[in-house]
């Protein structure tokens, strides 16, 4: 399978590799994780992506994440990326976006070392977050939107003007003595906005074509179902 663009996705791959290493070392008895991506195979020519996200993600110890993101062109040798989605974690898990919360969040990195999370409370059920979008607003500025409202203006340092859309799904379980997590989330469910992209012609959003899609299922793979849109990602633990 062809590799996706390298910067942000590589950072995320490192996350999985690192977590996987941990799973076999210090906390092998009490840890599991899974992460999967589906992305539109392009030449990093898009200036936006959006999708309605619906479904459920339940966990007793750890964190579940469902998001869309834009990652940068292959040509760059630095990391960077911006995502928006929703996450739910438990009190025994703390991350860059808080602890014991179910929220919409935006996160970006300009260098693969420094990650900034901005979030807002008010979403009380994972999977019911609505319509998410990441859009280039001018130059290398990207912003995220939730239900068509500006959620966060991204940083000026992303340094890419076009990128590749990604779907991102994650489960991170702290304590395997707890009930196994459940996860079944659909990007672009029937009757709602599909997973779409907008290319640099800015002629509007187009539903992503399966022939231009790629899957990247890294650890304890999820079931990636359907065409790119709707895409249902599920994991029974």
Q: How far apart are CA 162 and CA 200, in angstroms?
A: 7
Quick one: tokens of 175?
């304590």
Among 110, 164, 184, 229, binds other proteins (CB under 8 A): 110
177 CB-near residues (< 8 Å, 6+ apart): 30
116 binds other proteins (CB under 8 A): yes
Check: CB of residue 1 under 8 Å from CB of residue 216.
Answer: yes
Among 75, 121, 128, 223, binds other proteins (CB under 8 A): 121
- Of 52, 93, 145, 235, which lies in the binding site for other proteins, with binding defined by CB under 8 A? 93
- How many whole angstroms separate alpha carbon 174 and alpha carbon 10? 23
Three-state secondary structure call for residue 38? strand
| 111 sits near other proteins (criterion: CB under 8 A) | yes
- The region of 41-49, 60-68, 208-216, 217-225 touching other proteins under the rule CB under 8 A is 60-68
Asked whether position 44 contacts other proteins by CB under 8 A, the answer is: no
Q: For residue 155, report the phi and psi dihedrals to the nearest 5 degrees.
A: -85, 165
CB of 103 to other proteins, least distance (A): 8
Minimum distance, C-beta of residue 22 to other proteins, in the bound complex (Å): 4
58 binds other proteins (CB under 8 A): no
Q: Between residue 141 and residue 200, which ones bind other proteins under the rule CB under 8 A?
A: 141, 152-157, 170, 172, 174
Q: Which two tokens stand for residue 31?
A: 């840890």
**112 contributes a contact to other proteins by CB under 8 A:** yes
Is position 99 an interface residue for other proteins (rule: CB under 8 A)? yes
Q: 3-class SS at 195?
A: coil
Contact of 35 with 218, CB cutoff 8 Å = yes
* Distance from the Cα of residue 81 to its chain's centroid: 10
Size of the site for other proteins (CB under 8 A): 53
3-state secondary structure of 189: coil
To the nearest whole angstrom, how small is the minimum distance from the Cβ of residue 67 to other proteins?
Answer: 8
Tell me the C-alpha distance between 105 and 119, whole Å. Answer: 4
Name which of 174 and 193 has its Cβ closer to other proteins: 174
Which of 36, 65, 134, 135 is in the footprint of other proteins by CB under 8 A?
A: 65
CA angle 21, 11, 61 (to 5 degrees): 55
Closest to other proteins by CB, 133 vs 194, is 133
Q: How many residues does the chain have?
A: 237
Q: Under the rule (CB under 8 A), what is the footprint of other proteins?
A: 11-12, 14-15, 18-19, 21-22, 25-27, 33, 62-63, 65, 67, 87, 91-101, 103, 105, 107, 110-121, 141, 152-157, 170, 172, 174
């Amino acid at each position: 399978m062809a590799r996706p663009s390298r910067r942000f996705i590589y950072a995320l791959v490192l996350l999985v590799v690192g977590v996987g290493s941990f799973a076999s070392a210090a906390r092998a008895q009490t840890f599991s994780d899974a992460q999967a991506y589906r992305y539109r195979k392009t030449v990093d020519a898009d200036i936006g992506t959006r999708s309605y996200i619906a479904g459920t993600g339940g966990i007793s110890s750890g964190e579940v994440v469902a998001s869309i993101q834009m990652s940068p062109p292959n040509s760059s040798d630095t990391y960077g990326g911006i995502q928006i989605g929703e996450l739910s974690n438990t009190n025994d898990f703390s991350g860059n976006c808080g602890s014991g919360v179910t929220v919409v969040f935006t996160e970006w990195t300009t260098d693969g070392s420094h990650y900034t999370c901005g979030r807002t409370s008010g979403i009380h059920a994972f999977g019911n977050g609505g319509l998410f979008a990441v859009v280039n607003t001018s130059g290398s500025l990207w912003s995220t939107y939730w239900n068509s409202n500006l959620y966060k203006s991204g940083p000026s340092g992303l340094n890419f003007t076009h990128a590749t859309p990604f779907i991102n799904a994650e489960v991170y379980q702290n304590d395997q003595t707890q009930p196994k997590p459940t996860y079944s989330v659909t990007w672009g469910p029937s009757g709602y906005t599909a997973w779409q992209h907008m290319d640099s012609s800015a002629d509007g959003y187009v539903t992503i074509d399966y022939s231009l899609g790629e899957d990247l299922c890294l650890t304890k793979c999820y079931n990636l179902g359907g065409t790119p849109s709707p895409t249902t990602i599920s994991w029974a633990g």
